A = this chain, B = another copy of it.
Amino acid sequence: MAVQVIKGNIVHAPEIDRLDIVENGYLVLKESKIEGVFVHLPQIYQNVDVEDYGDRLIMPSFADTHMHAPQYAMLGMGMDLPLLDWLNTYTFKTEAAFKDTGYAREVYQKLAKEMIANGTTRVCAFSSLHLPSTMILMEEFEKAGMTGYVGKVNMDRNTGDVLSETTEESMRDTLKWLDDSSEKFGHIKPILTPRFTPTCTDELMTFLGKLAQERNLPVQSHLSENTSEIAWVKELHPDCRQYWESYKKFGLFNERTVMAHCVHCDERERKAIKDNGVWVAHCPDSNINLVSGTAGVRKMLNEGLRVTLGSDIAGGALLAMNQVITAAIRASKAKRIETQWTDDFLTVAEAFYLGTTSGAKFFGAQGGFAQGDTLHAIVVDDSSLPLSAKKLSVQERFERALYLMNKDNIVAVYSDGRKVK
């Protein structure tokens, strides 16, 4: 039986209010699956070669549950524009360029490598509406060692001239894409991706809802990001009291659904999210950059919603998920100020849980370094970070790493048991 042992300062968050730290601990894998984390190496593994990372930190790798892969090409640009202008004058043009498969290959190869380099091994990504480029994105993610879901975007109305498909094209391409991709990749699977309610006709939504049910497919979309968007949905679906119902009525709002943003969800909408088992992809940097609002993450957590983190590039300008984690802390602090110091902010441990374990659960893992999961981990060398007079605890070094590290500090990455960096 193949056994692997990895040694270092192990930090993980099995629960939201629990950070487990084992100094100079041992992570034991059997047949690529985690057997356990040990303070002392059990006798039966004494003869196994140890991959010794010395004084470095070993922690779970990150899960990015919402991002637009083609928008990597416009990262950090257009930040003076509000959401709908930003979409129309910038984003749709950027995505339209992914008609060109050569260009898509170049961008997606770089994106996939950068994500792995920055320690993201699980992703739930929007592609563009283009079938061939979507296949290229899946291929490049697979090659780089990523795991997760990619969606060909569906958008058959209200999209302007540069980027559009007819209802028929959208349905035909979706079926072909599912045929082509469902079994092709070991680690990257398709996810149904209606862009958002305003850009999808009822006919298309009906089709996607049926498909989701028949083939048991996951679904990703956007929910209650921006007040103008919410008003628009209301106009388009006068029969729906709230935005979420425009997904629910087509069968696109269930425990395999992840909804990005959820900034303006009131108590009733949050209850619907919870009751339907829907996952929230909180995108803190995007919500601030596009001045969408500050999501009430503390309320969601108190009410038992399943909250994960998304970079939402390029509404978010941060690809590295440790920066998204600290952005979530900062956004929760802005929310605390906005609520007159009422809502508690996210602690470092809580935000780390959201960006690792909680995201991993969306993809079916238990999260943390749980027995039976395959290994998703990063190894951090923090020796180049600022000098402290006293010996830092592992917890302090962990916190500092989340705030300060960049990809150069990430010296090894494991994804689904494979060493990919």
Assembled-state Cα–Cα distance A388/B330 (Å) = 29
Contact call B77/A400, Cβ cutoff below 8 A: yes
Contact call B341/A97, Cβ cutoff below 8 A: no
Say whether A402 faces chain B, with CB atoms less than 8 Å apart: yes
Q: Which of B76, B291, B348, B396 interacts with A402 by CB under 8 Å?
A: B76
Contact call B291/A389, Cβ cutoff below 8 A: no
Contact call B389/A75, Cβ cutoff below 8 A: no
Closest to A293 in B: B337
Contact call B389/A100, Cβ cutoff below 8 A: yes
Closest to A99 in B: B389
Closest to A97 in B: B389
Contact call B338/A386, Cβ cutoff below 8 A: no
A337 and B76 in contact, given A100-B389, A107-B386, A317-B326 (Cβ under 8 angstroms)? no
A348 and B406 in contact, given A294-B337, A390-B97 (Cβ under 8 angstroms)? no
Say whether A333 faces chain B, with CB atoms less than 8 Å apart: yes
Closest to A263 in B: B337
How would residues 72 to 114 of chain A score, 1 for a CB under 8 Å from any chain B CB and 0 otherwise? 1111111110000000000001100100100100110011000
How would residues 385 to 406 of chain A score, 1 for a CB under 8 Å from any chain B CB and 0 otherwise? 1111110100010011111101
Contact call B404/A75, Cβ cutoff below 8 A: yes
Say whether A289 faces chain B, with CB atoms less than 8 Å apart: yes
Contact call A386/B333, Cβ cutoff below 8 A: no
Assembled-state Cα–Cα distance A231/B81 (Å) = 39
Question: In the assembled complex, which residues on chain B have CB atoms less than 8 Å from the CB atom of A106?
Answer: 387
Assembled-state Cα–Cα distance A379/B269 (Å) = 49
Say whether A371 faces chain B, with CB atoms less than 8 Å apart: no
Contact call B75/A400, Cβ cutoff below 8 A: yes
Say whether A187 faces chain B, with CB atoms less than 8 Å apart: no
Closest to A393 in B: B77
Contact call A77/B396, Cβ cutoff below 8 A: yes
Question: In the assembled complex, which residues on chain B have CB atoms less than 8 Å from the CB atom of A196?
Answer: none
Assembled-state Cα–Cα distance A400/B79 (Å) = 9
Assembled-state Cα–Cα distance A326/B288 (Å) = 11
Interface residues of A (CB under 8 A from B): 72-80, 93-94, 97, 100, 103, 106-107, 110-111, 285, 288-289, 291, 293-294, 317, 326, 329-331, 333-334, 336-338, 341, 345, 347-348, 385-390, 392, 396, 399-404, 406
CB<8 Å pairs between A and B, sample of 12: A72-B386, A75-B404, A79-B329, A79-B399, A93-B390, A94-B389, A103-B389, A288-B330, A291-B341, A317-B404, A331-B334, A337-B338
